[in-house]
Amino acid sequence: MARLPAATGARAEDPVRATIMHPILSALKHHKTTVVLVMLEIALTCAIVSNALFLIGDRLSDMQLTTGVANNELVWVNSDSLREDGNPASRMSLEQADLTALRDMRGVTGVVRVNSLPLLDAAMWRSGISVQPGLPKATFNNIAMYLGTPGIVGELGIKLDQGRDFLPQEYADYSPSANQAPPSAVIVTRALADRLWPSQSALGQPIFMGEKGKYVTRVVGVTRHLLNPTLSGRTNSEDNLLLPVRSIPGGMYVLRMEPAARDAVLRDIPAVLDRVDNDRIITGSNSYARTVSDYFHDDRALIWLLLVVIGCLLALTALGVVGLSSFWVQQRTHQIGIRRAVGATRNDILRYFQTENFLIVSGGIALGLLLAVALNLLLMKHYELPRLPLYYLPIAALVLWVLGQLAVLGPALRAAAVPPVVATRSV
Amino acid sequence: MFGYYFDLAQRSLRRNPVLTALMVLAIGLGIGASMTMLTVLHVMSGNPLPERSTQLFYPQLDPRGMDDYRVGEEPPTQMAWIDATNLLKARKGTHQAAMSGGQVTVRPAQGGNRAFYVDARFTTADFFAMFDVPFARGGGWSSSDDDKQARVIVVAKTLADKLYGGGQAVGKILRLGQNDFRIVGVIEPWSPVPHFYDLTSGGYQDGEQVFMPLSTALALHQGIGGSLECWGYMSFNNLDRKTAPCSWLQFWVQLDTPAQQRAYREFLVSYSQQQKMLGRFVRPPNTRLHDLMGWLDYNKVVPGSVQLQTLLALGFMLVCLVNTVALLLVKFLRRGGEMGVRRAMGASMRSIFAQLLAEATLVGLCGGVVGVLLALFGLWVVRQQPAQYAGLAHLDAPMLYATFVLALCTTVLAAMFPAWRACRLPPARALKIQ
């Protein structure tokens, strides 16, 4: 038996191996329509799966954000007094009485009042600020304002990157809705500090606010992280300041405790507050961990939906490939028998079907990558999604190649098992 | 004849149950996913007042200053107190009403019952007639009540039943916050979807429980909610909503004829010019008049995420279809021999074609059943979500029929090409291979 040079790696026994591509391609030409359909299906799957994976990654990156407070040790309660005497002094004293009563609860280590919390998704106060005095218009707009009563930094578990906590004398009477001077000290986030003073330390820097920037406050500290009460889009999610105030009309109480004590505290809060004064409406209370998880509920729902869709699509495509390959194997039983009879090994037959599948899937992927980019452009235009990073494309391609090979394995093994004697029978 | 085709079809489908099940499942999945999302979309983008929507309009004016002025900018989405009052007094429409949302504290008379908040609508007399609000007892208030700041309210039946247990509520005195109000009317449950007349707190909230004259609510400092867009500098403390440079009211007008609508558009422009002469407005006239459905579109009331999910479902459906076409093609071509025999015995191409379509119809019907079941399950999942619109996701009769029709049509369409290919196989060749 004359051996061909080993360099070609072909064995003369199997005429198909000598020019491996040609017979497969010509066989595919016989099933043009079916092949095109499968390629189309794979292309669509590739486009949808790569964009779906990207959407999942996008949502997950949002959900990884650090709130900047002690998530698992906080409980909040919102209570409105119905006593409408409108006297600030009596409102203050009621607030103080509430704070004292809540602090005395079993397991509670501290209580403060705030106007909002990260990811609370409730109303938030935003205003414009400047870093130069006397400008007619604020240079940085939509900066969220957190207000907190004494102990705010420590009780919420906010970590400072730089500077110090507020001093007791810095807590002032201030309401952002009145055009009045803010407290003398302010704490900003690292992200905001880097935006306001890109090349210098933020400590001691002035911030101007109010009409034409006529009031000034100075930075005493910088927090490592503190998210806004609501996130809009993906930028500036930490654009906020923290101001020290004495009391907050329309604010909420936040209690700090060991995680184990949360449920009992949450249960007893209404009774404790009613003992102080029962002419009130408790409009909401929850453990902060649940609040955060509720905030991302829609994102989680979307991720599950996308996972189900990806799963169904891949399963469907795989089953389609199985159905089609089985049909082809059945159709070619006679030819396979002939090839086996003239010396093709089982491996050769297996390799043939695997190569064929690889070629079809590759064609589908090539088209699919174009479709994926087109679909992403469409989504970018209509749903404000970011651009699809290119590394998602090879991931999707790899998934489909592996899927195709796995799907074709069963039918290909059945093909390889066809005995040579089949060639001698007529169908 | 058709009976015979269907008999043949079910025999052939039973011959390879796996492939058949695969096709039915693919169609069912595609249809189920699409119908779930399309139903949600259908509910969310429905017409809240089908009989009246073409006659209801939402005028917009632009009273803002010249700061940040850009040509072609959209006017504010709400109206300032002064403009709303002027448009009310002008009475240019069949009906017109200004309104705002808010909260009131209900204090039940019986002791021991804790006070609670309910959503309220502060509006003017025409509200009920303009929106065709159904009354169970009594009626609305008059425009003289608006002028007098009368302490009258209309309540929803659910609240009336909660307070008076099905007894007579009209004429009763109800304490809200610090003041007493006389109930003059009780309305049947009324909650248009979307909540078109006020989109400031999401487009799908429930209907309000208490309706109060707007002038009364302002005089008694009731808790007005919603959004407030202001221009210029001002203090928000002790804000006087009547004089502040802020827009915070929704304003609706009913215009029955095209002539009335044209006249109103012209009126809005001339009103803007007149206000500019008076020095209140500084910008050139910038007015809009959307009809109800146009206003919903303009505000993009259907959330982007729902549209995205619908798009995803339709993409999924497309893949299911391509898959079905491929499988049917394989299935039909595989039976070349059988068809060759039937052709040789005198069956026409058309009868072969009809028989193959009958087969596809059976697959489509089964797929439709699976699809409906999956859609029902999908909608149940949607209803478990805490979104504002979740409770509305139900499959109504038209959508149910649509599901079946869609399943059938798509499958038969998908079968057209494979069947056409299969019935064109030359019978002689098929027989020879055999």
Confidence of residue B237 (pLDDT cuts 50, 70, 90): low
- Alpha helices (runs of H) in B220-348, residue ranges in sequence order: 258-277, 292-298, 304-334, 336-344
CA distance B427 to B344: 7
Mean pLDDT, to the nearest integer, of A315-319?
88
Sign, Cα dihedral of A308, A314, A316, A318: negative
List all residues 6 or more positions away from A288 whose beta carbon is below 8 Å from its beta carbon: A69, A71, A72, A74, A75, A76, A117, A254
Mean pLDDT, to the nearest integer, of B350-364?
89
**R_g of chain B computed on alpha carbons:** 31
Q: Do residue A48 and residue B385 have CB atoms under 8 angstroms apart? A: no
Q: Do residue B421 and residue A33 have CB atoms under 8 angstroms apart? A: yes
- Give the residues across from B403 on adjacent strands: none
Which chain A residue has the Cα nearest residue B434? A427
Q: Do residue B334 and residue A330 have CB atoms under 8 angstroms apart? A: yes
- SS3 sequence, B362-404? HHHHHHHHHHHHHHHHHHHHHHCCCCCCHHHCCCCHHHHHHHH
Can you give the pLDDT at residue A11?
46
Distance of CA B17 to the CA centre of its chain: 42
- Examine the pLDDT at A194 and tell me if it is beyond 80: yes
Summarize pLDDT for A147-188 with one digit per residue, the tens: 999 999 999 999 999 999 999 999 999 988 777 889 999 999
Can you give the pLDDT at residue A86?
65
Q: Do residue B105 and residue A211 have CB atoms under 8 angstroms apart? A: no
Q: Which of B178, B309, B327 has its CB closest to that of A323?
A: B327
**Torsional class of B229: left (φ above 0), alpha (ψ -120 to 50), beta (otherwise):** beta
- Give the residues across from A74 on adjacent strands: A256
Q: Do residue B117 and residue A41 have CB atoms under 8 angstroms apart? A: no
Mean pLDDT, to the nearest integer, of B215-233?
83
- Give the residues across from B252 on adjacent strands: B97
Which chain B residue has the Cα nearest residue A315? B26
- Examine the pLDDT at A419 and tell me if it is beyond 90: no
List all residues 6 or more positions away from A373 whose beta carbon is below 8 Å from its beta carbon: A388
Confidence of residue A364 (pLDDT cuts 50, 70, 90): very high
- Examine the pLDDT at A22 and tell me if it is beyond 70: no
- Asked if residues B312 and B402 have their Cβ atoms less than 8 Å apart, the reply is no
Task: Work out the percent of chain A whose per-residue pLDDT is above 90.
Answer: 47
Residues of A within 8 A of B26 (CB-CB) are 316, 319
Confidence of residue B233 (pLDDT cuts 50, 70, 90): low
Q: Do residue A294 and residue B386 have CB atoms under 8 angstroms apart? A: yes
- B59-78: b (≥16 Cβ within 10 Å) or e: bbbbbbeeeeeeeeeebbbb
Q: Which of B67, B116, B385 has its CB closest to that of A281?
A: B116
Summarize pLDDT for A94-133 with one digit per residue, the tens: 899 999 999 999 999 999 999 999 998 776 788 888 898 8
- Asked if residues A302 and A55 have their Cβ atoms less than 8 Å apart, the reply is yes
Q: Which of B177, B307, B316 has its CB closest to that of A313?
A: B316
- Examine the pLDDT at B4 and tell me if it is beyond 60: yes
Confidence of residue A5 (pLDDT cuts 50, 70, 90): very low
Residues of A within 8 A of B318 (CB-CB) are 44
- Examine the pLDDT at B433 and tell me if it is beyond 80: no
Confidence of residue A15 (pLDDT cuts 50, 70, 90): low
Residues of A within 8 A of B319 (CB-CB) are 41, 44-45, 48, 313, 316-317
Residue A315 distance to chain B (closest CA, Å):
10
Q: Do residue B334 and residue A316 have CB atoms under 8 angstroms apart? A: no
Residue B49 distance to chain A (closest CA, Å):
28
Residue B127 distance to chain A (closest CA, Å):
28
pTM of the model: 0.78
Q: Looking up tokens 């309910």, which residue turns up?
A: B118
User: How many Cβ atoms from other residues are within 10 Å of residue A362's Cβ?
Assistant: 16
Question: Mean of the per-residue pLDDT values for chain B?
Answer: 87
Can you give the pLDDT at residue A9?
41
- Asked if residues A170 and A138 have their Cβ atoms less than 8 Å apart, the reply is no
Which chain A residue has the Cα nearest residue B313? A309
Question: Mean of the per-residue pLDDT values for chain A?
Answer: 86
Residues of B within 8 A of A283 (CB-CB) are 117
Residue A423 or residue A344, greater confidence:
A344
Residues of A within 8 A of B224 (CB-CB) are none
Residue B376 distance to chain A (closest CA, Å):
16
Q: Which of B67, B237, B304 has its CB closest to that of A177?
A: B237
Mean pLDDT, to the nearest integer, of B349-357?
88
Residues of A within 8 A of B235 (CB-CB) are 177-179
Q: Do residue A44 and residue B322 have CB atoms under 8 angstroms apart? A: yes
Mean pLDDT, to the nearest integer, of B1-15?
81
Q: Which of A34, A45, A52 has its CB closest to that of B326?
A: A34
CA distance B24 to B331: 14
CA distance A213 to A138: 7
Residue of A31, A33, A384 best to disrupt the B interface, most CBs of B under 10 A: A33
Confidence of residue A426 (pLDDT cuts 50, 70, 90): low
Q: Which of B115, B235, B386 has its CB closest to that of A297?
A: B386
Summarize pLDDT for B170-207 with one digit per residue, the tens: 999 998 988 999 999 999 989 888 899 998 877 788 88
Q: Looking up tokens 């499968």, which residue turns up?
A: A38
Q: What are phi and psi of A281, to 5 degrees?
A: -120, 125
Summarize pLDDT for B403-416 with one digit per residue, the tens: 888 888 888 888 88
**Torsional class of B21: left (φ above 0), alpha (ψ -120 to 50), beta (otherwise):** alpha
Q: Which of A82, A179, A383 has its CB closest to that of B115?
A: A82
Residues of A within 8 A of B419 (CB-CB) are none
Can you give the pLDDT at residue A2?
39
Summarize pLDDT for B127-181 with one digit per residue, the tens: 999 999 999 999 999 999 999 999 999 999 999 998 888 788 899 999 898 899 9
List all residues 6 or more positions away from A173 whose beta carbon is below 8 Å from its beta carbon: A245, A246, A247
Distance of CA B388 to the CA centre of its chain: 12
Q: Do residue B325 and residue A323 have CB atoms under 8 angstroms apart? A: no
Residues of A within 8 A of B334 (CB-CB) are 327, 330-331
Summarize pLDDT for B371-400 with one digit per residue, the tens: 999 999 989 988 887 777 777 788 888 888
Q: Do residue B105 and residue A82 have CB atoms under 8 angstroms apart? A: yes
Q: Do residue A316 and residue B323 have CB atoms under 8 angstroms apart? A: yes
Size of interface A-B (CB pairs under 8 A): 110
Confidence of residue A368 (pLDDT cuts 50, 70, 90): very high
List all residues 6 or more positions away from A105 whose beta carbon is below 8 Å from its beta carbon: A255, A265, A268, A269, A272
Confidence of residue B125 (pLDDT cuts 50, 70, 90): very high
| CB burial of residue B51 (10 Å; 0-12, 13-18, 19+) | exposed
CA distance B155 to B164: 12
Sign, Cα dihedral of B417, B419, B422, B426: negative
Distance of CA B74 to the CA centre of its chain: 24
Can you give the pLDDT at residue B113?
61
Q: Which of B26, B67, B325 has its CB closest to that of A316?
A: B26
Residues of A within 8 A of B434 (CB-CB) are 427
- Examine the pLDDT at B112 and tell me if it is beyond 60: no
- Is residue A364 within a helix (H) or strand (E), and if so which, with residue range? helix A346-383
What three-state secondary structure class fits B94?
coil
What three-state secondary structure class fits A1?
coil
Mean pLDDT, to the nearest integer, of B320-334?
85
- Total residues found in chain B within this entry: 434
What three-state secondary structure class fits B180?
strand
Q: Which of B105, B387, B433 has its CB closest to that of A298?
A: B387
Q: Do residue B115 and residue A312 have CB atoms under 8 angstroms apart? A: no
The closest of B331, B314, B320, B321 to B412, measured between CA atoms, is: B321
